[in-house]
Amino acid sequence: MRIYFTRHGETEWNRAGIIQGQDDSPLTKEGIEMGKILREKCKDIHFDAVYSSDLGRAYDTAKLICPNQYIVKTSLLREIDVGYWSGKNIQDVRKDDTWLHKLYFEKPHSYNRIDGESLYDLRRRVEKFFEYAVYPELDNNILVVTHGVTIVAMYSIMENVPMKNFWINRVRRNAEFNICDYHDGKFKIIKKAPQNPVDSI
């Protein structure tokens, strides 16, 4: 099985430096164009299944990439729930919530919050998606359209990364393909999208 997975196209909040989490904002014109570029890049690939986060920015990107194909929407592919950080400027969170922000990036194995998910919670959720869509190896090619930190969690599973080293993989750029093969219980990374130039939450 070959897995093509990508972060959604650029959104209004991406551009403004605002944390989205499980809140949402629309794709920018550039974000829409990103989806169309991915459609062209994969025009010769037949996807046996297309999966998307049920958040609008991911689903809208998936529809741009595969406009004529049924898309399975699932909450298992949502971005991490960062509680009251959603809707806040990244710089403000770094300044006003310094301890929790540092914990998130510097001690991810200890990061937890009562109004959202831990990184362990996120990884367990992604693992459930893998159990459903990947581990049975029912398809040859699948497309997964999801979110920045969710893709980091995917890599942590694929590469068996300890939680304390979660951020060894950084958030990838919007609308760039990552590619991985899965066969007989083993993952093989084929391509990693370029990393996002700034911290993303």
| Binding-site positions for substrate | 7-14, 57
Closest CA to 108 of 82, 146, 78, 77: 82
Phi/psi at 116 (5° precision):
-170, -150
Annotated binding-site residue numbers:
7-14, 57
For tokens 């510097």, the residue is: 106
Phi/psi at 159 (5° precision):
-105, 5
